[in-house]
Amino acid sequence: MKNKLIYTVFLAAALSACTEDTMDSINKDEANPPAQSVNAKFQITDATMATAFSGWGGAYAWYVSTFTEQTFGTGNNQLMKAELRMRGETAASTTYNNEWNAIYGNLNNIRQIIDKCADGGLNAGQSDLLGMAQVLWVLNAELLTDVHGDIPYSEALKTDQPKLDKQEDIYADLLVRIGDAISLLDAAAADDMNNAGAQDILYGGDPSRWLGLAHAVKARLLLNTSFRDNGAYAKALAAGEAALTAGFDGAQLTVFNGVDCDNPWTAYSWSRYYTGANGTVVDLMTSRNDPRLDVYAWDAFGTGYAYAPAGDSELAKSTNTVGLPVWLENGAAPLHLFSIAELHFIIAECKARAGADASGNLAAAVQASFDDYAAATEETFGDASAYVAALGAPTLAEVMVQKYLAQTRDEQVQTYNDLRRCKAQGEEFVKLLNPNNSQGGQNQWPLRLPYGNSDVVSNPNVTAAFGTGNDAGNYIFTENVWLFGGSR
């Protein structure tokens, strides 16, 4: 009897414990664990991919490329409207709403990584992951402020109606962050850390390669501030040289898997065919006997129109008529976050402005561009030395033209920055030819891009900056961002 009682008590206790354990776990979604329990290395993958797809290789670049005249907007729809500089498209808050939301979503993901790497966090002490996250934060936030100017920043991701921070303050923070990233990645490389491994789809978790990218990003940030800082070119040169010393050889993704993942430019082109070759680029290439011309202006539809003159309304309204760059048909074309060509162009520009010899970096930049065009089109361009020699002495103007041609491949957002920066400094190295850039005595070329609709309609701070009624969005034609001479 005594043994039976003991057994009964034991069984009741066991059943009670089992029931409590079951109840504790019954509402857990094991397939979707809470963010705080996920190792940050798994978030690095998505953060990197989103930086490329939703950021530097997404709709911002597609639209901006028509404004820089590196591509031609056609297909009788959105990009046609951008080509013809129709305000209803270029100034609408809905135009970039998806990208606006996606980048803030990515910043939230990156913020979680940073928090997890703090003291007491799930990934505390993993300075390689923290350094990577800071680089990705800078790349995303830089893109937003470069194209929009003042944006929600210090209060973003913390409140429903964050204030707008001044671009000057945002850039100051970005430079601090990239400096922190350099220190973190330098230490991680010295300790031979690799906490990300294969989850890092950019560099396989190697902090020394991320260190090179961090120096390159710093060089670009400093270059963008040159209108506001007389010493920026010397600082950018030093950062660029540090990137080379660190072994930077480019940051690009090859996302094609043969089934369901293509370069975003290709995916967009295949779905819409709104992107053609532009006569502005063709003129520059033709005058230089540039071998890249044949793959840039390709008569894809057999219509006899390998390209269109900038702003041609009839060809803009046509469908499947205007030729396009060959690489838009290659889903395996590499997608750049930061090319080695861009780094050499930054160094070459800084040297040319200082009166130093820029020939070596210009030659390296053009060769890198030739190699990139070849990789993207599966064509062969070979040695660029004869082409570079034919250009003559490396003037500042030619450095900027060659950078424009190189970045026609998929780095048009930085070209947009360069064109606005040089214009603010009274320089015009690439003459834009679209007659629609000015209409009725008014500027129709966007000096910046409009805010995303989700915040325009829900955040009074953004609503006030965007404007209301007949004035809504029109500020983009009259007000430069702070970097390039404006006040916001």
Q: Which two tokens stand for residue 326?
A: 């060959």
How far is 327 from 323, CA to CA, in rounded Å?
12
- Integer angstrom CA distances of residue 457 from 144, 452, 465: 18, 9, 12
pLDDT beyond 60 at 415: yes
Give the 3-state secondary structure of residue 488.
Answer: coil
179-236 pLDDT, tens digit per residue, is: 999 999 999 999 999 999 999 999 999 999 999 999 999 999 999 999 999 999 999 9
Convert the pLDDT of each residue in 264-298 to its tens digit: 999 999 999 999 999 999 999 999 999 999 999 99
Q: How far apart are CA 430 and CA 417, in angstroms?
A: 13
CB 64 within 8 A of CB 413: yes
Alpha helices in 225-336 (DSSP H): 232-245, 264-272, 279-287, 293-296, 313-317
Chain segment 1-17, per-residue pLDDT in tens: 444 444 444 444 444 44
Whole-angstrom CA distances from 428 to 81, 139, 396 are 25, 27, 11
Instruction: Please tell me the predicted confidence (pLDDT) of residue 212.
Output: 98
What's the mean per-residue pLDDT of the chain? 93
397-407 pLDDT tens trace: 999 999 999 99
Q: Which pTM does this prediction carry? A: 0.93
Token output for 183: 């220190």
Instruction: Enter the DSSP assignment of 75.
Output: S
Quote the pLDDT of residue 17: 46
